[in-house]
Amino acid sequence: MLNVAIVGASGYTGLELIRLLDRHPEVRISCVTSEQSAGKRISDIFPTLRGRSDLLLEPLDSTAVNAKADLVFTALPHQAAMAVVPDFLAAGKKVVDLSADYRLHDADVYAEWYQPHINAELLPEAIYGLPELRRDKIRTARLVANPGCYPTSVILGLKPLLERRLVDLNTIIADSKSGTSGAGRSAKVDSLYCEVNESFKAYGVGSVHRHTPEIEQELSELAGQSVALTFTPHLLPMDRGILSTLYAMPLRNITAEELAELYADTYNDEPFVRALPKGQFPSTAFVRGSNFCDIGVTLDKHTNRIVVVTAIDNLVKGASGQAIQNMNLICDFPETMGLEGLAIFP
C-alpha cells in the first residue's frame, strides 16, 4: 500500500485527487494539508466526503509530510509549490507537482511569465508529465511536473501533426474554452455565479496567458524546432471541461480520411485517448469525470485547413487524473488503475 500526501487539499484539484484515489486499490491517503482550513476535517470542507473520510487537514510541515507519505501530490499555487518540493525530494519522496513551477525547462522563461525560480537546479530533472509523450521518462522520475489543463488539450491534439511534420508551423492556432473549475476555489468577483452564468468571454487574448510558453515548449519538442502559436482561452458557463479547437495549414495534400487514420494510429494503444472516427467530434459532456481525451479531426476542404477538436475534463485528464496516471507510472502500477471510471452523463 502506497502512502500518499495531498499538499493543498482544500481546492478542487485536491478534492478530485481524493475522489479518484478513493477507488485506487494500491493507495492510501495518509496526509492532507491546507493552510486556510488546517484543523478542520476534510469532510467539513467537502461534504461529499461525509462518512467516507475523516482526515484532518494539517498546516503544511514538510517534516510531518515526509514522515507519513511515500509520494506527495503538491496541489498548491505556483511559487508555493517550489517552496516545499525540494524538502520532499531531499527526504527521498517522489513528487507529482500539479503547479506550474517545474513545467518549463528554462528558468528565464519561467521568470518572465511567473517570478524568479528559487530552485531552478531542479528544472533539468523534472519530467513534464504527459504520458502520451514520454511515458518511459516518467517511470523513472523523482519529480513529475503535471501538465496544465489547456496544454494537455492542445498538445494531445497537435502531436500527430507535429511529429510527422505535416503542418506549416506558422499557422497554428488554439482556440480553447474552459469550464470555471479551472479558475479554482478562491473568492473572486469574476468567479461569482452571477458573473459567469449565462456569460461567455475570451481572456488573455493575444497569447498572453501563462500556458502559452508551456504549450510551445512541448510543441517545439514534438516538431523538432521552435514553434509559436496563437492561443486564446475562453471561460465557459459550466463546471468542468476543456474543448480546444485547433487550426493549422498542411504542408502537403492530405484528406480527412488520412487524418482520421493518422490519429487512430497514433493513439491506438493509448488507454486514455480516443481518436474518433472520421466525421465525429467530441463534446466535453462525454468525458466529464473521466480521464479520457477525445479527439476529432477533419480537413476543411474549402480552405485546405486542418481542424482538430479535443475534449478533456480539466480536473481529471487536465489535472488530478493525469497526476494519478503519472503516479501509476512512477510506482509501476497498471497505468489505468483507479482511473477506470466512466464519464458521468448527464
Query: For a second copy, which is the closer residue by CB, 92 or 346?
Result: 346
Query: For a second copy, which is the closer residue by CB, 114 or 281?
Result: 281
Q: How far is the CB of 54 from a second copy (least distance, A)?
A: 13
Report d(CA 259, CA 268) in Å as an integer: 14
CB 326 within 8 A of CB 144: yes
Is 149 among the catalytic positions? yes
Which has the closest alpha carbon to 232: 147, 174, 182? 174
Query: For a second copy, which is the closer residue by CB, 124 or 346?
Result: 346
Q: How far is the CB of 26 from a second copy (least distance, A)?
A: 16
Query: For a second copy, which is the closer residue by CB, 63 or 302?
Result: 302
Q: How many CB atoms lie within 10 A of CB 116?
A: 11
Report d(CA 80, CA 155) in Å as an integer: 26
At 181, list the grid cell. Answer: 473549475
List 31, 149, 194, 331, catalytic entry:
149
Query: For a second copy, which is the closer residue by CB, 39 or 184?
Result: 184
- Quickly tell me which residue has 508555493 as its cell: 80
Which has the closest alpha carbon to 57: 97, 1, 9, 93? 9
Report d(CA 338, CA 20) in Å as an integer: 6
Report d(CA 170, CA 87) in Å as an integer: 42
Q: How far is the CB of 137 from a second copy (least distance, A)?
A: 26
Q: How far is the CB of 111 from a second copy (least distance, A)?
A: 18
Query: For a second copy, which is the closer residue by CB, 90 or 192?
Result: 192
Q: How far is the CB of 212 from a second copy (least distance, A)?
A: 7
Report d(CA 80, CA 65) in Å as an integer: 15
Q: How far is the CB of 160 from a second copy (least distance, A)?
A: 17
CB 345 within 8 A of CB 286: yes
Contacts with 239 (C-beta within 8 Å, 6 or more apart), sequence order: 179, 180, 181
**Distances in whole angstroms, Cα of residue 271 to Cα of each of 69, 222, 304, 336:** 28, 20, 31, 7
Q: CA angle, corner 238, sides to 233 and 240, nearest 5?
A: 75
Catalytic residue annotation: 149
